[in-house]
Structure formats: structure tokens, C-alpha cells
Amino acid sequence: MIFPTVSFAAETSSDTMILEWKTYKVWKDGENLCMSGEFENLRNDLKITRLNNFTAIITFMNNDGTSYQYIGQPEKMPMCKIAPNSKKRITFNLGKFDGNWTDWNVDAIYNFSYINGVNF
């Protein structure tokens, strides 16, 4: 019996209507700035296969009303395979950071690969 080989080419996107990021925590671990959050695959017909890049734009606020912005990328890109309609918690090490804050807000820019139309 011969079985046909079916392969799917991964497509690339930055569409937040497919993959959504929510930041839960920003902290310092020694000299490193860390951030954890969750990706949610909002589609029921796509499998996220890889996180290609991720840029965090963090606005730090101080008690005196001042703020400053930090833009960074992870030291290492984590594995990020997410089934349709699923979530995955991720922690990023954003590298060395020398700063203090009382509050923060994160915007993220990211690009990912996915496979379309696959039964899971």
C-alpha cells in the first residue's frame, strides 16, 4: 500500500487576530530583566509552529510621575508550538538591565510561523 506524502509550507504573520500576547509580570532576576506572559492562538484552523522574533516595548513608571521606555529582545527565543484554540505561557530573559520602577506597561511586536488547514 502506498500512502501519499502531504506536506504543508509554514506561513509567516504578525497578525494579533491570530496570535495574541498578554504580559503577566515584569521583574529583575539579578542583573537580568525578565518578562512572563501568555500567547493565545485565537484560530481553530491554524497551528503556531514557531515564534520568529519578539520585541518588547516596556514603559516603566516611577512614583514621581516620570517614565522611561525600554526596547529589548529575548536573549534566546523559546520554543513556541501552540495548537488551535490553545494557550502557552512563555518567560523571556531580556538581558542585562539597570533600572528601577514602580509600575510598567508592555507593548509587544512579534512575528510567527503557522500551518494552515491541518487537522489536529
* DSSP codes joined into one string, 7-38: ----EEE--TTTEEEEEEEEEEETTEEEEEEE
Band of pLDDT at residue 5, cut at 50, 70 and 90: very low
Cα–Cα distance measured from residue 114 to residue 42, given in angstroms and rounded to the nearest whole number = 12
Q: Taking the domains of the chain in order of start, what are their residue ranges?
A: 13-114
Whether pLDDT at 99 is above 60: yes
In CATH terms, the fold of domain 13-114 is Immunoglobulin-like (2.60.40)
Q: What is the mean pLDDT of the chain?
A: 92
What's the whole-model pTM score? 0.86
Whether pLDDT at 3 is above 80: no
For residue 26, give the nearest of 87, 78, 80, 102 by alpha carbon. Answer: 102
Cα–Cα distance measured from residue 56 to residue 73, given in angstroms and rounded to the nearest whole number = 6
